[in-house]
Amino acid sequence: MISKTFFNRLIILGFMALVGFCLAKAINSGSVMGIILALVSLGAGIYFLYMVVKAKQELEAEEATQ
């Protein structure tokens, strides 16, 4: 069975690969709207990862105080 951590990392890697592919296709075709949307999607993915790490740190700090 695949561990939860490995599965989460696989999903994140897949998402980032798809965003990178979309960005490359948008640059190749010269689509400004595609480039903007791919960059917004990349920013949202990075922000999500930042929020997950921050929430995990807060949860660990809360458990340590109890």
48 belongs to a structural domain = yes
The type of residue at 20 is G
Number of domains, the chain: 1
20 belongs to a structural domain = no
14 belongs to a structural domain = no
45 belongs to a structural domain = yes
21 belongs to a structural domain = no
pLDDT given for residue 55 in this prediction:
95
Q: Using one digit for the tens of pLDDT, what is the confidence trace for 4-51? A: 889 989 999 999 999 999 999 999 999 999 999 999 999 999 999 999
pLDDT given for residue 47 in this prediction:
96
66 belongs to a structural domain = yes
C-alpha distances out from residue 40 to 26, 36, 53, Å: 13, 6, 20
Q: Give 37 or 66, the one with higher predicted confidence.
A: 37
Distance CA 6, CA 4 (A): 6
